[in-house]
Structure 1
Amino acid sequence: MEENNVPAWRKSSRCGTSTCVEVAKVDDQYLVRDSKNPEAPALSFTQAEWDAFVEGVAAGEFRF
């Protein structure tokens, strides 16, 4: 975990000024949260799950 057990949250580069998702890597987990509600529990993903998500985004699997 980051220093003082506080994850280093990063916002999406496509956020602009609106609410967004934030991501942090802690040990072998990727955490995802809603920036407008940072106190809510974060979703947690393994390295394999995160890799599959990133590959899906790159492949356009989430385009509507």
Structure 2
Amino acid sequence: MTWIGTSKYLATGCADGTVNVWDSLLGNCVHTFHGHLDAVQAISVSTNTDFIVSVSVDYTACV
């Protein structure tokens, strides 16, 4: 899990290979990114908050 800059949004990496973006005030998922075939191990957000990078146990990285 990581905050997206200083916004109210956070990103989570999931065991199903997705990365979800959540509105922390409302508690709902606002976007789901697909691309990994296995669990997400780590996620990071770029300094300008334009990109989320995720890495998975399937040996891939997604931007």
Task: Tell me which structure has the larger Cα radius of gyration.
Answer: 1
Q: Which of structures 1 and 2 has the larger relative contact order (alpha carbons within 8 angstroms, sep 6+)? A: 2
Pick the structure with more helix per residue: 1
Name the TM tier (shorter chain). 0.3 to 0.5
Give the TM-score of the pair, scaled to structure 2: 0.44
Give the TM-score of the pair, scaled to structure 1: 0.43
Pick the structure with more strand per residue: 2
